[in-house]
Each structure stands twice: as C-alpha cells, then as structure tokens.
C-alpha cells in the first residue's frame, strides 16, 4: 500500500552538479511508463540572473525511429502547453527560465502528459556565468510492469 520503492522508476535527467554551461541532454525512454513526472532542482544562483545572463530549461520530446531505436537529436521537438502540467511553457519548449536573482533553492515538478516516447531536458545557458549554479533533474514514472527492476 505504501510501497513506492517497488512501484516507482527514477531516471536521472541532469546529473547533480554546479553548472556554468549547457548540459548534454540524455534521452529518457518513457516506453515502459504509464505516467511520468520531471523534478527539477535548482540551488542558489551562482550569478545574479538577468534577461542576458540566464538559464532556460528546455524540454523536448520525440518518437522512436521506425526500427524502435532511440531518435536522433534532430528528431526532438519542443513540448507545448498541452504536453505538460504544473508549468507554463514558453516558446521553444522553455518550461522554466532563471532571469532574475535566484536567492533560494527551488524544486519544480513538471507532469509529462504528452504522447511521445522520449524526453530530453536541456539547461540552456546564455550570457556570462562566472560561477556555477547547482542543478539536478530526475524523471519519476509509474511503470506498466511491477515491481520496478533494480
């Protein structure tokens, strides 16, 4: 009844670290999940963000290739508002933007309700970032088959 350990899959979308430049997005395979939610954790800003010196978190999704393998980078397209819950999507799939001082750590939940099989999350840095900002992101999902394999 209270067993999430065997009933919830967790995948790393952005490894926890202090970033001062774009991460390399990993392909997150949702094909074995009945539901998925992204958890984005951002620590205190390494700089004072502005409209020029900013971080935009861009969520994209794609279907697998015809042979069932993972899509190529160019196959991913930006999510739209109807694909997610909990955030307002800006142009280009931006689900969160740091454009002003970020003095306290935050946790943002983003429900994915789109119909694509793969996700990618990019922390897109613009401007000058002399110090890193702590960032981490995971995708939690409810698999079709239980229990979750270790």
Task: Dump pLDDT digits (tens) for 76-119.
Answer: 999 999 999 999 999 999 999 999 999 999 999 999 999 999 99
Residue the block writes with tokens 């539901």: 35
Q: Are 19 and 98 in contact (CB under 8 A)?
A: no
pLDDT of residue 1 exceeding 80, the answer is no
Enter the pTM of the model: 0.94
| Dist CA 41 CA 12 (whole Å) | 12
3-state SS assignment for residue 68? coil
CATH 3.90.1720.10 fits 10-142, yes or no: no
| Angular region, 68: left φ>0, alpha ψ -120 to 50, beta rest | left
pLDDT tens track for 31-90 = 999 999 999 999 999 999 999 999 999 999 999 999 999 999 999 999 999 999 999 999
Distance CA 92, CA 7 (A): 33
Residue corresponding to tokens 């992101």: 137
Domain boundaries along the sequence of the chain: 10-142
């Amino acid at each position: 009844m209270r067993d999430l350990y065997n009933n919830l899959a967790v995948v790393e979308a952005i490894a926890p670290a202090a970033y001062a430049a774009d991460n390399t997005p990993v392909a997150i395979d949702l094909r074995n999940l009945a539901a998925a939610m992204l958890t984005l954790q951002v620590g205190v800003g390494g700089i004072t963000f502005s409209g020029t010196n900013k971080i935009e978190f861009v969520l994209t999704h794609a279907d697998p290739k015809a042979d069932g393998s993972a899509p190529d980078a160019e196959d991913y397209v930006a999510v739209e508002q109807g694909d997610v819950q909990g955030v307002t999507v800006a142009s280009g799939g931006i689900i969160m933007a740091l454009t002003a001082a970020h003095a306290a750590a935050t946790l943002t939940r983003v429900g994915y309700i789109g119909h694509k099989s793969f996700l990618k999350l990019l922390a897109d840095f613009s401007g000058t970032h002399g110090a890193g900002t702590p960032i981490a992101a995971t995708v939690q999902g409810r698999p079709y088959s239980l229990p979750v394999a270790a």
